[in-house]
Amino acid sequence: MKKEELEILCCKTCDIAIEVAKFIKEQAGTLHQEDIEMKAFNNLVSYVDKTAEKMIIERLGTLIPNAAFLAEEDSVHDTVADYRWVIDPLDGTTNFIHQLPFYAISIALEEKGELVLGVILEVKSGDLFYAWKDGGAWLNAKPIKVSASKELSECLVATGFPYYNYNSLDAYLRCFRSFMLTTRGLRRIGSAALDLAYVACGRFDFFFEYSLQKWDVAAGIVLVKEAGGIVTDLTGTDQYYNNGCIIASNRGVFDKALEVIKPEFLED
């Protein structure tokens, strides 16, 4: 798809995210315990996630005929196609349930396996992050770039605590300790999509986490790359989208962050 076509498609995707966000905002603070399901340990879902996903899929389905879908709540069966939408209708469900403000809609598009478009809408604030291949990254119609930090001592770091896969917990905690001692601090806001969006606009200098799903990171990967950042897995390879382990960073501190993280996860 041409860059001009991607830009138009991105605008239409943003409109869909804005529409669905209205529904999510209407439901905020209305959930009861019986509305919440546990898919697995510490993995929660509600009718809000499911309804939002169906709304997104229905509307995206009119944009690219015969496109496939990969969606967190399994509203549709994943199939093989040249184009595939990757959707998290409510990234940060636990935050949403507990009325914490950090949750987002995340929508990405793959073209023959390559991520070419990403939209992340922070529902509570209304901040709209979006990017398309070779079109730069944007926040509320203004161009964004990753931060210019060059030393760990200048960095605010984002991370996510593992909540079900504890196999690499010791390695993770060693990295956490190292960054606690060498950076301005670490933040865990509970939404990988927003962590990546915040790296793209320079609020965070870098982000690292393991055991993520494609729908957690797809849109954010596009944003970070188009904002001038770099994305790898925790050992510096390009398998981040498939193995669920990710570092997203500006280019000034990436090598220094990787120097801390890589040895721990190679040994793990």
Examine the pLDDT at 75 and tell me if it is beyond 60: no
Choose one of 144, 176, 204: the last residue of a domain: 144
Residue from 202, 70, 56, 191 nearest 137 by CA: 202
User: H/E element holding 222?
Assistant: helix 214-226
Mean pLDDT (whole number) for 66-74:
88
Indicate whether 168 and 219 sit together in one domain: yes
Supply the pLDDT for residue 73. 77
Structure confidence by residue, pLDDT tens digits, 127-181: 999 999 999 999 999 999 999 999 999 999 999 998 778 889 999 999 999 999 9
Contact 66, 60 (CB under 8 A): no
Indicate whether 120 and 181 sit together in one domain: no
Choose one of 88, 117, 144: the last residue of a domain: 144
Choose one of 144, 162, 178: the last residue of a domain: 144
Examine the pLDDT at 115 and tell me if it is beyond 60: yes
Indicate whether 9 and 103 sit together in one domain: yes
Supply the pLDDT for residue 47. 84
Q: For position 79, which CATH number holds? A: 3.30.540.10
Q: How much is the pTM?
A: 0.94
Indicate whether 123 and 167 sit together in one domain: no
As a whole number of angstroms, the distance between CA 40 and CA 186 comes to 27
Indicate whether 14 and 121 sit together in one domain: yes
User: What band does 70 get if pLDDT is binned at 50, 70 and 90?
Assistant: very high
Q: For position 225, which CATH number holds? A: 3.40.190.80
Indicate whether 72 and 128 sit together in one domain: yes
Mean pLDDT (whole number) for 106-132:
98
Structure confidence by residue, pLDDT tens digits, 194-235: 999 999 999 999 999 999 999 999 999 999 999 999 999 999
Indicate whether 117 and 185 sit together in one domain: no
User: What band does 42 get if pLDDT is binned at 50, 70 and 90?
Assistant: very low
User: What band does 39 get if pLDDT is binned at 50, 70 and 90?
Assistant: low
Give the total number of structural domains in the chain. 2
Determine the residue type at 198.
Y
As a whole number of angstroms, the distance between CA 92 and CA 115 comes to 22
Indicate whether 138 and 59 sit together in one domain: yes
Q: Name the phi and psi angles at 239, rounded to 5.
A: -90, 15
Instruction: Report the Cα–Cα distance between both ends of the chain, in Å, rounded.
Output: 41
Structural domain harbouring 190 = 152-267
Examine the pLDDT at 255 and tell me if it is beyond 90: yes
The residue assigned the tokens 């770039």 is 145
Mean pLDDT (whole number) for 244-262:
98
Indicate whether 127 and 158 sit together in one domain: no
Indicate whether 186 and 238 sit together in one domain: yes
Indicate whether 19 and 123 sit together in one domain: yes
Supply the pLDDT for residue 210. 96
Indicate whether 174 and 114 sit together in one domain: no
Supply the pLDDT for residue 189. 97
Interacting residues of 233 by C-beta distance below 8 A, sequence separation 6+: 239, 240, 243, 245, 246, 247
